[in-house]
Amino acid sequence: MNVLAQYASILNKCLKKFGLETLDIAFLSKTSRKSIEAVLAQNGSVTLESLEAIAQVFGLHYYELGNPDTKTPKVSELPDATIKRIKFRKKQGPSTPINYQTLDLNEKMVVVLAQYSTTDQFLGQEIAQSLNERFNLELPVSQILDRFNKAFKDQVVKTENQVVHHQERGPKPYYYRLSIPITQERLEQAKKKIGV
- 114-149, pLDDT tens digit by residue? 999 999 999 999 999 898 888 878 788 888 999 999
pTM: 0.52
The answer on pLDDT for 100 being more than 50 is no
Whole-angstrom distance, CA of residue 50 vs CA of residue 62:
9
What band does 102 get if pLDDT is binned at 50, 70 and 90? Answer: very low
Chain segment 50-97, per-residue pLDDT in tens: 889 999 999 999 889 888 888 889 999 999 999 999 999 998 888 765
The answer on pLDDT for 170 being more than 80 is no
CA-nearest of 27, 48, 154 to 98 is 27
- Determine the pLDDT at residue 196: 79
- Determine the pLDDT at residue 50: 85
- Determine the pLDDT at residue 190: 92
Whole-angstrom distance, CA of residue 109 vs CA of residue 180:
14
- List, in sequence order, every residue forming a beta bridge with 162; answer none if it has no partner: 174
| Domains of the chain and CATH, by start | 3-92 (1.10.260.40), 100-194 (1.10.10)
